[in-house]
Amino acid sequence: MKVTFTKEKRRCAVRVERDNGSTLYGYGPNTGGELPHDVLHFVAEVEFGLDYGVFGHLAAGMPSRVFIPADREEIVKIWRRNRIKRLRVPEGRRSEELVARVERQWHDRKLQPELLAKLDELAERWQALQVGGSLTLEWPRPERRKHHSPRKRRRPATARR
């Protein structure tokens, strides 16, 4: 899965290209900081092994309310599916907390040296971009589809009288 972050005037456009061929897009805040919030999410989830945070959730082949399919026909299916059942990102809250901690420790220079160097390098690349410029990162772990056990897929049997 490749994720491209594009610098815009007041926000950051995010394009997610899954290995299965589907493409999603969305927008995140570009707070004017050294790195957009979504780039920090990506790096934190990769470095700390969150497979079901914002981007790990997508790599697992699960739907998202944050990102919208580029294919208009898929949008209708997603909206219908999201109306029927509540969408959950299992490690979403943990990812948000982790990003806040990583950003604070990065600015205080209290992270592991290799993570400090990685964030510094990404921030330098991001700051060098003009509006319309992009930064592409690749999800390091293989994508996979969410699998349910056969028991969970079947509807419960109705009681007979």
Separation between Cα atoms, residue 31 and residue 12, nearest integer Å: 9
- pTM, whole model, 2 decimals? 0.79
What's the mean pLDDT in 3-14? 92
For residues 114 and 94, the model is more confident at: 114
- Tens of pLDDT, residues 122-131: 999 999 999 9
Residue 149: both structure tokens together: 């056990």
Q: Which of 31-45, 66-80, 103-117 has the lowest mean pLDDT?
A: 66-80
- Cα radius of gyration (the chain): 18
